[in-house]
Structure 1
Amino acid sequence: MTTLLKSATIIDSSSPYHHHQKDILITNGIIIKIENSIEIENDYQVVALDNLHVSCGWFDTSVSFGEPGFEERENIKNGLNVAAKSGFTAVAVNANSNPVIDNKSAVEFLIHKANGFATNLYPIAALTQNSKGIDMAELYDMQQSGAIAFADYNKPIANDNLMKIALLYAQNFDGLVFSFPKNNSIAGEGIANEGINSTKLGLKGIPALAEHIQIARDLYLLEYTGGKLHIPTISTTKSVELIKEAKKKGLQVTCSVSVHHLTLSDDELQGFDSNYKVNPPLRTKADIKGLLKGIKSGVIDIITSDHNPIDIEHKKLEFSEAKDGTIGLESAFGALNSVLEVEDFIANITSKPKAIFGIKEHSIKENSKAEITLFNPELNYTFAKKDILSISKNSAFLDKKLNGKAYGIYANNQLILK
């Protein structure tokens, strides 16, 4: 199969065609020709879309699919199709299934289920057995089976010594350890950011301090042990500052932020809509400014959708009773592109996360493997239920005005368009 992308503006700083509008010819998954104009032949699959832009394939480092065990929320087949139509050529899948992905067989199950899809699936295995934070899981065996990192999704490791041992042990095989930034002793039964809005609304608050204390602890442990630490989905300005100082010391620490924490504040809670109940909680507008600054300065390495489908029985409840989480794959690009320029964040969803997780990036140039995202950065629209492709519909971006939309991807010798 030969595919021709017509008049595509290339956004790829590693490519000699960066910012150039070109025709791109792909045969059997390899880019064989990039020219100003390529003549169409009868057997070509031609892609000619309005304001077509292309970049290296996007990589989302925090995605939950439910399967096995929570297929009513989402399954791997549909989840990977959603990811592809949302512009993602690769996703890292969290271990929060039932059973938890905490052994080599479970890792191999995920990889096997994802065979043959355009979007690549990379398992993030549990750091502890059953993600209970008590006994460390079989990290080395799981890495040998294909796990790219270790995390108890959205669950902090309370045991300081366990985190210390994990950081030490993982160095033997260059493993990447996650630590969720939340101190449960401080957070208590909080369900919203502690501040003016939580007080007005009568919601139990989670102080930003709960995040800062956990990050400070983890950075001290990392300084003692060495190794590699990733802090997922930070949500405050102070967190950016703590990680900035650690990087100045030369510590191997990286961090991510979710799209919703870059774009939505706790002002959204006024209507008690449980779609805005996420973990960490939505913070203040001042925190959003600090996080955006962290992206532009390079302190924050990764932007993730933190896609977490929750079925209606567990989400459409009173705010205090609903499960945390929002879907985000479908809205990720449009929301991000509404607060940042493409050039400001493209590396945070392509080259930077791939480098951190040890995944090869394929530049848009001749004789390179075609792993490409197709998108339009100038399409304004209101995100509606019809835009949701996931089985679960718990989106924090419903009825929000977004700017930019993914057309789909070309990857693994497959063209997938929305």
Structure 2
Amino acid sequence: MNILIKSAKIIAPNQSYNQQIKDILIIDGRISKIEDQIQPTIEVREISLENLHVSPGWFDSSVSFGEPGFEDRETIENGLRTAALSGYTAVAVNPNTHPVADTNADIGFIKSKSQAMATSLYPIAALTASSKGVDLAELFDMNKAGAIAFGDYQRPIENPNLLKIALQYTQNFNGLVLSFPMENKIIGKGVVNEGVTSTKLGLKGIPALAEQLQIARDLFILEYTGGKLHIPTISTKISVELIKQAKEKGLDVSCSVALANLVLNESALEDFDTNYKLLPPLRQEADRRALVEGIKDGIIDFVTTDHNPIDVENKNIEFDHALYGTIGLEASFGLLLQEFPLETVIKVLTSGKERFAIPEDEIAVGSKANISLFNPDASYKFSETDILSLSKNCAFTGKQLKGKTYGIIANNSLALKSS
């Protein structure tokens, strides 16, 4: 496919064309020219859009698509289409399927369903068999099949010796271990953040201690074993401090924050809307502000939408029984621009690639075209009509957003919104 992008402002921190307005000619999936004005000598698809900005392609380190087993929530095909039109050229997909993705055959199946799509899919494999936390899964075989990391989605590694063995074993092939920060015995039957709000609503609380204790334990084990550890979706002020101290020690640890915890706090729960039932739970405003500062200071490595489609039967029920999760791909860019400058947003949307060993293509002549297209100045209220996912469980409906995505160019394909 031959494409000519007209008069696009390039946002590519630490790259040579950053902040420049250029035409970009793409021939057969590679950038052929970047110039002030390009007059093509061959037939091209011209892209000329209002206030068009481009950046290196975005990556989300935690999405759930349901397939196989929960196709009523989301399919891989529609999930990748949603990601593409939301500006993401690559996503890491969680193993919370049925069956759980815990063999090389499961990884091969998931990858096969993503072929010929503009957005690349990178599977995260289960760390333990059936994500039950008892025995390690076939980590080396799944790595060979294309798994980029290993973790049991939203399930903690309760056995500390299992984490120790996993960190030691994965060093043989430079594998990345994910450990969800939650101590089940402290959480008990909690469903929201423990505090004044949970007491007022009469809902059982999840103490911040449950997250912090697990992180402290994991970091002690990492210091003992070595290896590579990623702690997904931290949510408290003390968690940020623990990660900061570990990095100052030189430990090979990274962490992410979920979009909802970055832009919302527990006050959203006052109407008992189950779209705000999330894991980790929405915390206090002081925690949210600490997460924002953690991004600005570089302690938190990147942001994930933690996109998790849930069918209506499992959301529109009593709060205690509703499943955790919100979708977030479609609203992510506009929400992040409410909190951070544009260059910071682009950094947090692209920096996860290096940690997960995903190729990063610069906006440069000769590079593969792996580009996100957007308008950072568009302002609008996010509504259900903006949702592209099959499931509509969204914590951000009705929120005012700044910034709209147009789509992506990647894998020699163009995915562009129709309006």
TM-score band by shorter chain is: over 0.9
Unaligned runs of 5+ in 1: none
Cα offset, 1:345, TM superposition: 2.8
The DSSP-based 3-state class of the residue aligned with 1:338 is helix
Provide Cα deviations, 1:74-120, integer angstroms capped at 9, x if missing partner: 00010010000000000000000000000000000011111110100
Partner of 1:250: 250
Cα offset, 1:42, TM superposition: 7.1
Partners of 1:365 and 1:42 lie apart in 2 by 20
The residue identity in structure 1 corresponding to 2:374 is F
Cα offset, 1:37, TM superposition: 1.2
Partners of 1:379 and 1:53 lie apart in 2 by 12
Partner of 1:262: 262
Partner of 1:394: 393
The residue identity in structure 1 corresponding to 2:323 is K
Instruction: Please tell me whether residue 279 in structure 1 is matched to residue 289 in structure 2.
Output: no
Instruction: Please tell me whether residue 337 in structure 1 is matched to residue 333 in structure 2.
Output: no
When structure 1 is superposed on structure 2, of 10-19 and 298-307 the one drifting more is 10-19
Partner of 2:44: 44
- Structure 1 segments (4+ residues) deviating >4 Å: none
Partners of 1:329 and 1:33 lie apart in 2 by 31
Provide Cα deviations, 1:365-411, integer angstroms capped at 9, x if missing partner: 11111000001111111110100000000000001111111110000
TM-score of the two chains, using structure 2 as the length reference = 0.98
Provide Cα deviations, 1:313-347, integer angstroms capped at 9, x if missing partner: 00111111100000011011111111111212322
The residue identity in structure 1 corresponding to 2:131 is S
Q: Tell me if structure 2 keeps the 8 A contact 1:192–1:198.
A: yes
Partners of 2:336 and 2:366 lie apart in 1 by 31
Instruction: Please tell me whether residue 361 in structure 1 is matched to residue 341 in structure 2.
Output: no
Partner of 1:293: 293
Partner of 1:371: 370
The DSSP-based 3-state class of the residue aligned with 1:386 is helix
Q: Tell me if structure 1 keeps the 8 A contact 2:13–2:347.
A: no
Partner of 1:168: 168
Cα offset, 1:14, TM superposition: 3.6
When structure 1 is superposed on structure 2, of 357-366 and 95-104 the one drifting more is 357-366
The residue identity in structure 2 corresponding to 1:310 is I
The residue identity in structure 2 corresponding to 1:380 is S
RMSD (CA atoms): 0.9
Partner of 2:80: 80
Partners of 2:89 and 2:354 lie apart in 1 by 15
The residue identity in structure 2 corresponding to 1:377 is P
The residue identity in structure 1 corresponding to 2:136 is M
The residue identity in structure 2 corresponding to 1:208 is A
Partner of 2:215: 215
When structure 1 is superposed on structure 2, of 358-367 and 208-217 the one drifting more is 358-367
Q: Tell me if structure 1 keeps the 8 A contact 2:129–2:135.
A: yes
Partners of 1:231 and 1:101 lie apart in 2 by 20
Cα offset, 1:359, TM superposition: 1.1
The residue identity in structure 1 corresponding to 2:223 is E
Q: Tell me if structure 1 keeps the 8 A contact 2:13–2:343.
A: no
Cα offset, 1:15, TM superposition: 2.5
Partner of 1:411: 410
Provide Cα deviations, 1:269-301, integer angstroms capped at 9, x if missing partner: 010000000000001111111001100111111
Q: Tell me if structure 1 keeps the 8 A contact 2:262–2:291.
A: yes
The residue identity in structure 2 corresponding to 1:153 is Y
Provide Cα deviations, 1:41-84, integer angstroms capped at 9, x if missing partner: 67221111111110000000000000000000000010010000
Q: Tell me if structure 2 keeps the 8 A contact 1:89–1:409.
A: yes
TM-score of the two chains, using structure 1 as the length reference = 0.99
The DSSP-based 3-state class of the residue aligned with 2:222 is helix
The DSSP-based 3-state class of the residue aligned with 2:167 is helix
